[in-house]
């Protein structure tokens, strides 16, 4: 059995045992409106995608003003610091670090003064060739102040060839390998762009005022009242300006594309649409597939909240076993910057989850979870159920075992941190203390999604859509930056 005390004293425990969030981006053109405030609410709707930092940049046609800082959207922005951000165009960003540490120098957007005027850039994803691109910039004399590949994107865009931003963006995109959903702000326009593999979501819609908005998820656009929402196609660039949307297919979509499966499994809000499909319905389908694949006699089906709730409903409906809530989750414990005391830390999982004892006592329980990454929180959860009197605990996971790291913008850890990389399913079951453990097979998962291909499943299979570096890239540039700034010594 896993030593529970070691788990509770491990800082990664407090980050939760799921693939960690990517980033949220948004762009708005709304003449005569308070675009900074609109961007704030769009970012607020995307808060689940990143809680480390937030930033907004706004153009009034003459200059770009920006405010960004470490913290949640509601912590970073106030009416006082939003007031100076006036204009018709804006971009915004929520950050979860996938390249570079969580620090103010890596907060986005990045704002540069260039020979073509000021430009601000925010990014969701990872460039797998960022090390080579970074070295080229340094050798050409370009100075870099952060450890983020987004600064590399901004600097390459500033130096790219072309008569206008469209042409310069196309020129730069030819060099970028990896995942990038981008929002870009100039004095007169806001742009959005998506990599030709289509890894991460990006949608655009019409605002009630007649302007346009883009965001990582359609749910954020609904928050702004958008209609006519459509996804930005892989390899596409769209300009939001005083004219009708200008759309250009900068790069041909890859065949097949490589959409991130985890948008359906975990990341996206359930009210969002991804690849033309309802995320909520897909999660129910995953639960239904699990019920058919791995039936077991039990008394109650419970989810690990929140992303597993639709799957648990689907499992319950397909199996006929009643659905109920077994865990009550404190949704804010993982987003506080105040560490618990040693005494509270020993409470461990109880700081984040409590069990409704009367729903669990003397019951055979099926627990539905969306994924199992490191295995460091599900064991304490199972122990909570045992302590509440559960007779049996059967764990069902809505995806296959995660055995390989992601290099395209999802922080899953290294091979050594992924429990399925070095353990069999039965070894994992024994380690976490479950009576049974079943992962949904890859083919059943894709059937539930409704596609045979076009998705990236590299974290399950180890088959990446392109050559990936043989080293971790999240903190790859930190040492040299720390030396420059004299920190971390």
Q: How do residues 401-430 score in pLDDT, each as one tens digit?
A: 999 999 998 877 789 889 999 999 999 999
Q: What integer best gives the mean pLDDT of the chain? A: 88
Which residue is listed with tokens 């670090």? Answer: 97
To the query of whether residue 23 is one of the catalytic residues in this protein, the response is: yes
| Distance in angstroms (rounded) separating the CA atoms of residues 41 and 438 | 39
Strand order in the sheet with 64-70: 64-70, 53-59, 89-95, 24-29, 212-215, 203-206, 227-231
DSSP 130: H
Instruction: Name all domains of the chain by residue range, CATH numbers in brackets.
Output: 24-267 (3.60.20.10), 274-461 (3.40.50.2020)
pLDDT at 479: 38
Which residue is listed with tokens 């102040």? Answer: 145
Query: Closest by alpha carbon to 259, among 458, 39, 116, 46?
Result: 458
Instruction: State yes or no: pLDDT of 485 exceeds 90.
Output: no
Instruction: State yes or no: pLDDT of 364 exceeds 90.
Output: yes
pTM: 0.88
Instruction: State yes or no: pLDDT of 215 exceeds 70.
Output: yes
| Distance in angstroms (rounded) separating the CA atoms of residues 210 and 31 | 9
Query: Closest by alpha carbon to 417, among 464, 371, 375, 459?
Result: 375
Query: Closest by alpha carbon to 49, among 81, 77, 69, 72?
Result: 72
| Distance in angstroms (rounded) separating the CA atoms of residues 221 and 224 | 5
User: Can you read off the two tokens belonging to residue 462?
Assistant: 């180890």
The mean pLDDT of 357-381, rounded to a whole number, is 93
Instruction: State yes or no: pLDDT of 97 exceeds 60.
Output: no
* DSSP code string of 142-209: -----S-HHHHHHHHHHH--SSSHHHHHHHHHTT--B--EEEEE-SS-EEEEE-TT--S--EEEE-TT
pLDDT digits (tens, 9 = 90+) for 114-156: 999 999 999 999 999 999 999 999 999 888 887 788 999 999 9
Instruction: State yes or no: pLDDT of 15 exceeds 60.
Output: no
The mean pLDDT of 449-454, rounded to a whole number, is 95
């Amino acid at each position: 059995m896993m030593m529970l005390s070691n788990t509770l004293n491990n800082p990664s425990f407090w980050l939760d045992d799921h693939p960690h969030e990517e980033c949220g981006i948004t762009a708005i053109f709304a003449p005569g409106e308070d675009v900074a405030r609109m961007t704030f609410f769009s970012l607020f709707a995307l808060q689940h995608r990143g809680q480390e930092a937030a930033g907004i940049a706004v153009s009034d046609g003459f200059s770009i003003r920006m405010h960004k800082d470490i913290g949640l959207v509601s912590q970073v922005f106030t009416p006082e610091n939003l007031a100076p951000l006036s204009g018709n165009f804006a971009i915004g960003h929520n950050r979860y670090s996938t390249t570079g540490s969580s620090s103010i120098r890596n907060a986005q957007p990045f704002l540069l003064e260039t020979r073509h005027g000021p430009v601000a850039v925010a990014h969701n994803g990872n460039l797998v060739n960022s090390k080579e691109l970074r070295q080229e910039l340094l050798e050409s004399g370009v100075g870099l102040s952060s450890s983020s590949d987004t600064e590399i994107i901004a600097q390459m865009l500033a130096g790219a060839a072309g008569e206008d931003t469209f042409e310069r963006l196309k020129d730069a995109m030819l060099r970028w390998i990896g995942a990038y959903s981008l929002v870009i702000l100039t004095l007169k326009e806001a742009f959005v762009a998506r990599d030709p593999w289509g890894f991460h979501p990006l949608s655009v819609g019409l605002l009630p005022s007649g302007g346009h908005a883009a965001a990582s998820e359609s749910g954020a656009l609904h928050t702004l009242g958008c209609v006519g929402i459509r996804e930005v196609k892989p390899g596409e660039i769209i300009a939001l300006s005083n004219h009708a949307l200008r759309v250009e297919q900068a790069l041909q979509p890859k065949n097949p594309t490589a959409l991130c499966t985890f948008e359906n499994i975990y990341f996206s809000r359930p009210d969002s649409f991804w690849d033309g499909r309802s995320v909520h319905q897909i999660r129910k389908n995953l639960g239904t597939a699990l019920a058919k694949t791995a039936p077991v006699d039990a008394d109650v089906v419970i989810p690990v909240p929140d992303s597993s709730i639709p799957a648990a409903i689907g499992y319950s409906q397909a199996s006929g076993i009643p659905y109920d809530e077994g865990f009550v989750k404190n949704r804010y414990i993982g987003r506080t910057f105040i560490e618990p005391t040693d005494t509270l830390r020993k409470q461990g999982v109880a700081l984040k989850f409590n069990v409704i004892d009367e729903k669990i006592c003397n019951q055979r329980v099926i627990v539905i979870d969306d994924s199992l990454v490191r295995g460091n929180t599900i064991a304490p959860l199972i122990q909570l159920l045992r302590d509440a009197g559960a007779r049996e605990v059967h764990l069902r996971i809505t995806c296959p075992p995660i055995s390989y790291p992601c290099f395209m913008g999802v922080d899953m850890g290294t091979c050594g941190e992924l429990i399925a990389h070095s353990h069999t399913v039965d070894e994992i079951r024994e380690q976490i203390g479950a009576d049974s453990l079943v992962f949904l097979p890859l083919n059943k998962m894709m059937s539930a999604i409704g596609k045979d291909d076009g998705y990236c499943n590299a974290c399950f299979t180890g088959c990446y859509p392109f050559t990936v570096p043989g080293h971790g890239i999240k903190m790859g540039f930190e040492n040299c930056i720390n030396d420059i700034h004299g920190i971390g010594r």
